[in-house]
Structure 1
Amino acid sequence: MTARGLIIGAPRSGSGKTTLTLAMLAAFRRRGVAIRAAKSGPDYIDPAFHAAATGAPSLNLDSWAMSPAQLGALAAEATADSELLIVESAMGLFDGVAVEPGRSGAGADLAASLGLPVLLVLDISGQSQTAAAVARGFVGHAPGVEIAGVVLNRLASERHRSGIVQAMEAIGLPVLGAVPRDERYAVPERHLGLVQADEHPALREHLERLADLAEAHLDLDGIARLATAPALATAPASEPPLPPPGQRIALARDAAFSFIYPHHLQGWRRAGAEIHTFSPLADEPPPEACDVCWVPGGYPELHAGALAAATRFKAGLARFADTRPVHGECGGYMALGEGLEDAAGARHEMAGLLSHSTSFARRKMNLGYRRAQLLAPAPIGAAGEVLRGHEFHYASLIDPGRDTALVRLSDAQGRDLGSAGGQRGRVTGAFFHAIAAEGGAPEVSHG
């Protein structure tokens, strides 16, 4: 079975892409369609909602961090056992970084490289026929990006819809849905975006309501007809974007630590690794049978008191680190440090395997793509290896500690951002989230 696919795009964040993507996914699944989803760019939260709506993992496809071969192979995997692939774009369709064409991280890159048509979601609140002028600006804006239809979101009335539909017909764009303004369909948010899917108080009921919304207000048959067969790699990549850090991986997994990319888990398992989860919040230590421990990002600042009281977890992690590697990404890096200040400014004792301390009370947003050259060997790669990934956190480093730096960072344009993270013995960590190994010679220096 080979799927056809399309991309859900919009002029900006906040247009309703995620809500309408989930509505389509839930409705197609209800109809018995073998449906898969993917997310353009770095994002942990939306793919978890996609997975809940489809019953299958949702992959991240990132044109800046992943090579064209990696992108094609991952897209091929997502379509191998499905009928329809829906890719949700991040931010605005053409929003990315100013680098070489096709490697900006924008959803438009995927539309061009994979040959997928775009269904444009337009927030039409506060405008009428002008919406057609906005849509017309997207048509032909970039070579290889086909705007195949539009969905009107936050509709005020039938009169409102009628005027916009006539204007869209005049420029030759089909309107495949008009969704009324209704805040009941919104998903709660917090500081890194939506709440996590497994924290939603009634997710299954919410998805059913969204499926009802799609059936009532979207032309699902017309949307399915827009989809085309993507241009895909004919064979899977020879190795995953990030090779497995060990044969048996102890993975922290609970409400505090859930930010692990599905393509990592999928690639590690395909490479023969075993993944054994444990819960720091339940005061569980990493399983002794494992040979490496990975503590991913998440929301440790919301659970700092429980983590500080998790004595079995902290003692077990220390024993594990005596003989085997332990790595922390972002929230995991925070938990490996000596202390964490919560939003109220209260300090909580963390694992103390690295010497830094972090604060969520003294907030500063850090957001962007990152190249990272490893200055020491770690579960994410060998010394000197270059990885591509990102940072997205509000926590600040209030004590840099005394450990050896783990990585030297540069941004997407190659500007040097200095050294970061920490390494002590077998323990490593940084705010940096790895998406894929870059390969080739390192591009940033040890200086």
Structure 2
Amino acid sequence: MTVPGLMIAAPASGTGKTTVMLGLLRALREDGLAIQPFKSGPDYIDPAFHRAACGRASFNLDSWAMTPGLIDAIAAEASGADMILAEGSMGLYDGVASAGGTGYGASADIARRMGWPVILVIDVSGQAQSAAATAMGFARFDPDLPFAGVILNRVASPRHERLVRRGMEAAGIRVLGALPRRGDLTLPERHLGLVQAVEHPDLDRAIADYAAFLRDHADLAVIRDIAAAGLTGGAAGRLPIPPAQRIALARDAAFSFTYPHLLEGWRRAGAEILPFSPLADEAPAIDADLVWLPGGYPELHAGPIASASRFLAALHHHAGTRPVHGECGGYMVLGEALIDKDGQRHAMAGLLGLVTSYAQRRMHLGYRHARLLAPIAGMAADTTLRGHEFHYSTILDQPDAPLAHVTDADGVAVAETGSYRGRVTGTFFHMIAPAP
């Protein structure tokens, strides 16, 4: 299987690469192409925006957390597509200090492995010819990385554009588009990044605006030709297997962060995914083998969750005989209480003793390597997992036994070990894959 592809990357976060990515996905779809999106790195939110833009599920590719076989298995999801568009994370070469499955978690690792030419989105506000020095540094930093050119973003005027283009021409850097500065082409954000796709008040119209903007100011035909140089061959590999046969999965605005490749792997292995909404006070399926509460934004919905008596009662009933697992926000809901940013305490399920607070904010961010000290459903003790943690809560109390020995990407132990009580387990990290 070979599909033309390229990667949209940037020197740093906040340069506008998500706007460019969404605009290109929609514009190419409008041109009749089936576009397969991917997201480099562990981002929870962007894949849902990708799907809204092009109609195909987007998958994460992570060179630190994933084995080569898993990366190839996920890349094979592009089968039947006309073209691949991958979005980088942070800066193109940003990663961790130690290599994981195939690299350091940098977008450059994935682009190099897949042979995807890189288009760099550069914010040129506040500079002119100097932007070429940045572009030239990225183009030459790694001679093995295919570098296609740049899209200039936040261009102030025609004169500004001429000056920036002049610098790029002198440096031998190809300019594939120049986007004028527009304050209205931004997506709303909150503390974990973008507001979720399902919460955007008029997402389809916004993406259509991005597509029209890209058509007016970027050379889509040349971008398509560049992609033909990057051919991806998805080798034989296997997606992660399910931890149970019938999995009741919480899914609504409070519980939304589940990696798409996990769900796809579970389904293909024959597991049944049974969605339910705690915010609608729905109970998980009575015959489920496992209840899984993903992460999300429970701190924004703590009151309704605390009042969801049918959901909470069913959770207690299930935990009496079968496993329940929570990740990050789901873990907090399994705890004794959650204190919101205003300092109000909300009683949660009480299946674990965990008490967390958003009134005392502290950022927890990074890759996690975990060795289980107790099983999570069908995952036995001593299983090693790789995942990612990103939240702003503070632990006030965690009286239960630690679930895992957890370290960061450099092997330094972290305090957020997760915990378990009986059949109930929880982690602050979101599982990406079994470790190599």
Once the two structures are overlaid, the 10-residue window that deviates more, 328-337 or 407-416, is 407-416
Q: In the alignment, what sits opposite 1:214?
A: 214
| Pairs within 5 Å for 1:199-210 | 199-210=199-210
Whichever residue aligns with residue 66 of structure 1, its letter is M
CA distance in 2, matches of 1:273, 1:40: 27
Deviations 1:190-243 (A, max 9, x none): 0100000000000111111111111111111111111134343332x13x23x2
Deviations 1:81-106 (A, max 9, x none): 20111111100000000124951100
Q: In the alignment, what sits opposite 2:133?
A: 133
- Indicate the RMSD between aligned Cα atoms, in angstroms: 1.3
Q: Where do 5+ consecutive residues of structure 1 fail to align?
A: 440-447
Deviations 1:369-422 (A, max 9, x none): 110010001137210011111110001111112x11101111111122256111
Check conservation: 1:2, 1:82, Cα contact below 8 A. no
Check conservation: 1:69, 1:233, Cα contact below 8 A. no
CA distance in 2, matches of 1:417, 1:45: 24
Q: In the alignment, what sits opposite 1:249?
A: 247
CA distance in 2, matches of 1:198, 1:331: 17
Check conservation: 1:35, 1:83, Cα contact below 8 A. yes
Check conservation: 1:362, 1:395, Cα contact below 8 A. yes
Q: In the alignment, what sits opposite 1:149?
A: 149
Q: In the alignment, what sits opposite 2:92?
A: 93
Whichever residue aligns with residue 263 of structure 2, its letter is L
Deviations 1:54-111 (A, max 9, x none): 111100000000012211221122x202011111110000000012495110000011
Residue of 295, 304, 307 corresponding to 2:293: 295
Q: In the alignment, what sits opposite 1:327?
A: 325
C-alpha spacing 1:32/1:233, structure 2 compared with 1 (3 Å): closer
How many residue pairs match? The answer is 434
Q: In the alignment, what sits opposite 2:310?
A: 312
CA distance in 1, matches of 2:219, 2:340: 46
Q: In the alignment, what sits opposite 2:384?
A: 386
Q: In the alignment, what sits opposite 2:63?
A: 63
2:195 pairs with 1:198: no
CA distance in 1, matches of 2:39, 2:235: 21
CA distance in 1, matches of 2:65, 2:198: 27
Q: In the alignment, what sits opposite 2:405?
A: 408
The offset of 1:32, in angstroms, is 1.0
C-alpha spacing 1:310/1:419, structure 2 compared with 1 (3 Å): closer
CA distance in 1, matches of 2:263, 2:294: 12
Once the two structures are overlaid, the 10-residue window that deviates more, 328-337 or 213-222, is 213-222
| Pairs within 5 Å for 1:16-415 | 16-77=16-77, 79-100=78-99, 102-227=102-227, 228-235=229-236, 237-238=237-238, 240-241=239-240, 243-379=241-377, 381-401=379-399, 403-415=400-412
The offset of 1:144, in angstroms, is 1.8
- Normalising by structure 1, what TM-score? 0.95
Whichever residue aligns with residue 282 of structure 2, its letter is E
Q: Where do 5+ consecutive residues of structure 2 fail to align?
A: none
Check conservation: 1:73, 1:232, Cα contact below 8 A. no
SS state at 1:257 partner: coil
SS state at 2:382 partner: coil
SS state at 2:265 partner: helix
CA distance in 1, matches of 2:417, 2:70: 27
Deviations 1:342-377 (A, max 9, x none): 110000010011111111111100001110010001
The offset of 1:313, in angstroms, is 0.3
Check conservation: 1:294, 1:326, Cα contact below 8 A. yes
Check conservation: 1:112, 1:145, Cα contact below 8 A. yes
Deviations 1:11-59 (A, max 9, x none): 1000001111001111111111101111110111111100100111100
Check conservation: 1:2, 1:83, Cα contact below 8 A. no
Whichever residue aligns with residue 344 of structure 2, its letter is A
CA distance in 2, matches of 1:160, 1:346: 51
Check conservation: 2:255, 2:294, Cα contact below 8 A. yes
CA distance in 2, matches of 1:230, 1:414: 35
C-alpha spacing 1:413/1:437, structure 2 compared with 1 (3 Å): same
Q: In the alignment, what sits opposite 2:7?
A: 7
CA distance in 2, matches of 1:268, 1:89: 26
- Normalising by structure 2, what TM-score? 0.97
Whichever residue aligns with residue 225 of structure 1, its letter is D
Check conservation: 2:117, 2:230, Cα contact below 8 A. no
Whichever residue aligns with residue 434 of structure 1, its letter is M
Q: In the alignment, what sits opposite 1:429?
A: 426
The offset of 1:138, in angstroms, is 0.9
The offset of 1:289, in angstroms, is 2.3
Once the two structures are overlaid, the 10-residue window that deviates more, 142-151 or 58-67, is 142-151
The offset of 1:172, in angstroms, is 2.2
